[in-house]
Amino acid sequence: MKTFMLMGFFAVMVIAICYGVSWYMGNPAILYIGAIMALVTSIGSYWYSDKIVLRMTNAKPATREEARELYNIVENLSITAGLPMPRVYIVDDPAPNAFATGRDPEHAVVAATTGLLELLDRNELEGVMAHELAHVGNRDMLVMTVAVVLAGFVAIVADVLSRTLIYGGGNNRDRHPAFLLIGIVGIILAPIAAKLIQLAISRKREYLADATGALLTRYPEGLASALEKISATARPMQKASHATAHLFISDPFQERSRGVMQKINGLFATHPPATDRIAKLRGMDGKQN
**Domains of the chain from N-terminus onward:** 2-50+144-199 (no CATH), 58-140+201-288 (3.30.2010.10)
pLDDT at 243 exceeding the cut of 60 = yes
124 has pLDDT over 80: yes
pTM: 0.75
Q: How confident is the model at residue 213 (pLDDT cuts 50, 70, 90)?
A: very high
Q: Which of 13-17, 80-84, 91-95, 257-261 has the lowest mean pLDDT?
A: 257-261
**From 20-24, 192-196, 208-212, 257-261, the region with the lowest mean pLDDT:** 257-261
Residue 71: what pLDDT?
95
Please say whether the dihedral angle defined by the alpha carbons of residues 276, 282, 288 and 289, taken in this order, is positive or negative. Answer: negative
Active site residue 228: no
Residues 6+ away with beta carbon under 8 Å from 233: 95, 96, 115, 119
60-61 vs 109-113, strand pairing mode: unpaired
Identify the active-site residue in 126, 132, 206, 228: 132
pLDDT for residue 219: 94
More confident residue, 39 or 182: 39
CA 278/CA 225 separation, integer angstroms: 8
pLDDT of residue 61: 94
